[in-house]
Amino acid sequence: MNATHQYLFDTARAARLGDPPPPAPGTHDLAVLRAARDRRRFARVLAGRPARGGLRTALSRAVLFGAALFGASRSGPSRTAPSRPAPAPCRRPAD
């Protein structure tokens, strides 16, 4: 059973009992995401860290860590695959 089936069961039950119907699935998704973001920012402020920029900082650290992990550092040979020759240009036949 997925969310749509459950919503239809709940709507039928509410109609039978005379209650208001429940909200459709996905109605409050953005509000929940905003509340989670606000709570995370508030926790960062309480911990003494900047409220914004945490995701960008974490991603930049991950990129730097990944570069060092895969041998893209300055102190050694790179481990890239050898380059292939460019394909020959495609020529149209003369009319």
Q: What is the per-residue pLDDT across 36-91, written as a single tens digit (0 to 9) for each?
A: 999 998 998 899 887 777 777 778 888 777 666 666 555 555 555 666 777 777 77
Residue 53: per-residue pLDDT: 74
> What pLDDT, on a 0 to 100 scale, did the predictor assign at position 72?
55
Q: Is the pLDDT of residue 34 over 90?
A: yes
> Which carries the bigger pLDDT value, residue 26 or residue 78?
26
Burial (0-12, 13-18, 19+ Cβ within 10 Å), 41: middle
CA distance 45 to 3: 36
What's the pTM?
A: 0.43
